[in-house]
Amino acid sequence: MTNNQSVLSWLQKVKDLVKPADVMWIDGTEEQLEMLRKTAVQTGEMIKLNQEKMPGCYLHRTAENDVARVEGRTFICSRKEEDAGPTNHWMDPQKCYKMLFDIARGSYAGRTMYIIPYSMGPVGSPFAKVGVEVTDSIYVVLNMSIMTRVGNKIWDVLGDSNDWVRGLHCKCNVDPDKRYICQFPEDNTIISVNSAYGGNVLLGKKCFALRIASYQGKQEGWMAEHMLILGIQNPKGEIKYVSAAFPSGCGKTNLAMLIPPEGFRKKGYKIFTVGDDIAWMRIGPDGRLWAINPENGFFGIAPGTNNKSNPNALATTRKGTIFTNVALNKDDNTVWWEGLDKNPPENGVDWKGRPWNGKTSKEKGAHPNSRFTAPAKNCPCISPEFDKGTGVPISAIIFGGRRAQTTPLVYQSRGWNNGVFVGSIMASETTAAASGAVGVVRRDPMAMLPFCGYNMGDYFAHWIEMGKKLGDKAPKIFNVNWFRLDKDGNFLWPGFGDNLRVLDWILDRCDGKANSVETPIGYVPTPEDIDMTGLEDAVSPETMKDILTVDKDQWRKEADAITEHYKKFGDRLPKELSAELAALKQRLQ
């Protein structure tokens, strides 16, 4: 398949370690994939769904203890501990390799070793990078074939280069006590053992495209970010692009595929999805920041996805999609999840594989972090730029999270460095996307807390550095919060499609057109500055005032909490950011 010596010698070492009965090179052909699907159905690894209603769709269930990313078992193995930084778990690389090799040794016995060559980014694009994942799971092969660009063409573009990311996945017996997701950024290597959950085992995604790539970006002068990319066409036909970083489970996929409110549609607004999770961004020849989506599919959260909240995502999952941990409707062999519709199956099977009556059972049919893996090309609003590999120019960068209080619906930072400050202090409630407690507020800078492959203080410095290079061509930086609650615990803002109203203000701000008022934290629109046409009955002017309020007392407390948060970074915290904090405190006095 390839004569690349670095590839061949690594594969030989891996093979000697895991001792498979067979080796299969994934070539990217439909014939081979179809053969693997058949095998997976025969062994019970996947269930073939109703092929008339959902052609090419399958259901898979993971082990009950293996349903989300495991941040406590995720390690950055740089030679020096300080290079992993205060926010990552660290292990000495030599010790870690030894531990992982002991776990992996002989673990493919009697089974097949699949070799997946893949590209993150359109094959051959100047932004793209190659990876090779070795796995013993057909589920991983089939998911990687949706999420990335896979096949023999990868060997051609790689040639004899050594610039590729090594990835070894061993399912083992999914023992949670021996589960490890380890990144070795200095060796371009990822090893993941004892899991079969997507975020832990589809190594192109969070492991490579964020943890390894963020480190590469720092070395090479570009950025790998946990961001969706969205194009917004205004009635004049101009398309502007924004990228947005929200923590997992905080609305990236939904915002990336939003449907404009009716009034906006009639005026001629259109949206185009470029990416829903990861952005690789470089400074282009024109000095602006250009972004590509390195992925080829969407690994989205199923619960809550319905024809009202996200019809584009739902449409995307109607063919060629693998569902993980959703409920099965045995009557018509289709899938169901909480929030799909008001008609759960009576004759169902829950995500644990037990008979389940959705009409009477108090238990959930789908796991809260159940997922769909769907080809990007299925998406009705996929951008014509998606596959081009030259990227799209970014006008605005948006940070956001889940905050019941404190953070207003939207505000604009005072400039690049202040924008980096805004990203660095992001705080959000935890969600089901990672194992552990849900709903706990934690600092999640730039939504990268679980994904930054090196010292977070150095990462902030890299952002400051990029701003210097971009100068006046830098995107404007904003912060949003769709999740502010009233005193009864209801969302104040309707969210989803209506978020376009906020994006519209953001883009007008970029053009210097929209109004705002200055507050200690930045520029906030007045209720009149947001186009509320058609939403007047749902959101009163008082509510709008509430959502846009910046409460000085709350922010004084926030400033104290930020001071604590910043202490972690010691002398790796850029002085620009301590200056921003001091200036914020001053403005709050």
Is 6 annotated in some ligand binding site? no
CA distance 428 to 436: 14
Residue 428 interacts with Mn ion (CB under 5 A): yes or no:
no
Report how far residue 34's alpha carbon sits from residue 67's, in angstroms, rounded to the nearest whole number: 26
Count interface residues toward ligand GDP (CB under 6 A): 20
CA torsion sign, 435 to 439 to 445 to 447? positive
Is residue 284 involved in binding ligand GDP (CB under 6 A)? no
For residue 317, which of 58, 512, 86 has the smallest C-alpha distance? 58
Per-state percent for the chain, helix, strand, coil, to nearest 5: 35, 25, 45
Q: What is the rounded distance in angstroms from the CA atom of residue 241 to the CA atom of residue 319?
A: 28
Q: Which stretch binds ligand GDP (CB under 6 A): 19-27, 158-166, 216-224, 251-259?
A: 251-259
Which DSSP symbol is given to 499?
A: H
Q: Give the 3-state secondary structure of residue 243.
A: strand
Residue from 133, 160, 162 nearest 145 by CA: 133
In the bound state with ligand PGA, the residue whose beta carbon lies nearer, of 397 and 433, is: 433
Which DSSP state fits 185? G
Cα–Cα dist 352/173, whole Å: 17
**Residue 309 binds what, of ligand GDP, Mn ion, ligand PGA, none (CB under 5 to 8 Å, by partner type)?**
ligand GDP
Q: Which CB, 246 or 421, lies closer to ligand GDP?
A: 246
Interactions with ligand PGA, residue window 48-77 (CB under 6 A): 69
Q: β-strand 327-329 against 348-349: which pairing, if any?
A: antiparallel
Q: Is 372 in the site for ligand PGA (CB under 6 A)?
A: no
What mask of x and - would describe binding to ligand GDP in positions 305 to 334, judged by CB under 6 A?
----x-------------------------
CA distance readout (Å), 35 to 28, 31, 41, 319 = 12, 6, 10, 18
- Give catalytic residues, as residue numbers: 250
Look up residue 558 and give its two tokens. 């926030």
Q: Does 450 bind ligand GDP (CB under 6 A)?
A: no
**Residue 408 phi/psi, 5° resolution?**
-70, 170
Please state, in angstroms and as integers, the Cα–Cα distance from residue 389 to each residue in 6, 110, 132, 195, 256, following that order.
26, 41, 20, 32, 19
Our CB check for ligand GDP shows the closer of 167 and 401 to be 401
Which is closer to Mn ion, CB of 277 or CB of 498?
277
Question: Quick one: what does residue 370 bind among Mn ion, ligand PGA, ligand GDP, none, with the CB cut-off 5 to 8 Å set by partner type?
Answer: none
For residue 245, what are its two tokens?
A: 């970083």
Q: How far is the CB of 96 from ligand GDP (least distance, A)?
A: 29
Dist. CA 211–CA 253, nearest whole Å:
20
Q: Return the residue of 45, 277, 338, 580 that touches ligand PGA, per CB under 6 A.
A: 277
**370 contacts Mn ion (rule: CB under 5 A):** no
CA distances from 141 to 15, 104, 111, 134, 148 (A): 17, 18, 14, 9, 10
How does DSSP classify residue 107? T
Out of 284, 389, 495, 520, the only residue in the binding site for ligand GDP (CB under 6 A) is 495
Question: Is 268 among the annotated ligand-binding positions?
Answer: no
Distance CA 519, CA 551 (A): 10
Binding test (CB under 6 A) with ligand GDP, winner from 301, 349, 448, 584: 301
Which of 253, 296, 324, 334: binder of Mn ion (CB under 5 A)?
A: 253
Based on the shown chain and the rule CB under 6 A, indicate whether residue 199 belongs to the binding site for ligand PGA: yes
Residue 487 annotated as part of some ligand binding site: no
Q: Pattern 222-251, binding to ligand PGA, x per CB under 6 A?
A: --------------------------xx--
Closest-approach residue to Mn ion (CB): 253
Contact with ligand GDP (CB under 6 A) among 246, 337, 399, 478: 246
Q: Which stretch binds ligand GDP (CB under 6 A): 145-153, 243-251, 357-365, 460-468?
A: 243-251
Q: Which does 69 bind (CB under 5 to 8 A by kind): ligand PGA, Mn ion, ligand GDP, none?
A: ligand PGA
Q: From its phi and psi, is residue 381 left (phi > 0), alpha (psi between -120 and 50) or beta?
A: alpha
Residue 452 annotated in ligand binding? no
Element housing 165 (H / E): strand 164-170
On the 0-12 / 13-18 / 19+ scale of CB atoms within 10 A, 415 is: middle
- Determine which residue in the list 22, 53, 354, 491 makes contact with ligand GDP, applying CB under 6 A: 491
Q: Is 252 in the site for ligand GDP (CB under 6 A)?
A: yes
- What does the binding site for ligand GDP look like in residue numbers (CB under 6 A)? 246, 248-254, 300-301, 303-304, 309, 433, 482-483, 491, 495-496, 499
- What does the binding site for Mn ion look like in residue numbers (CB under 5 A)? 252-253, 300
Binding residues are: 69, 197-199, 206, 226, 248-254, 277, 369-371, 402, 496-499
Binding residues for substrate are: 69, 197-199, 248, 369-371
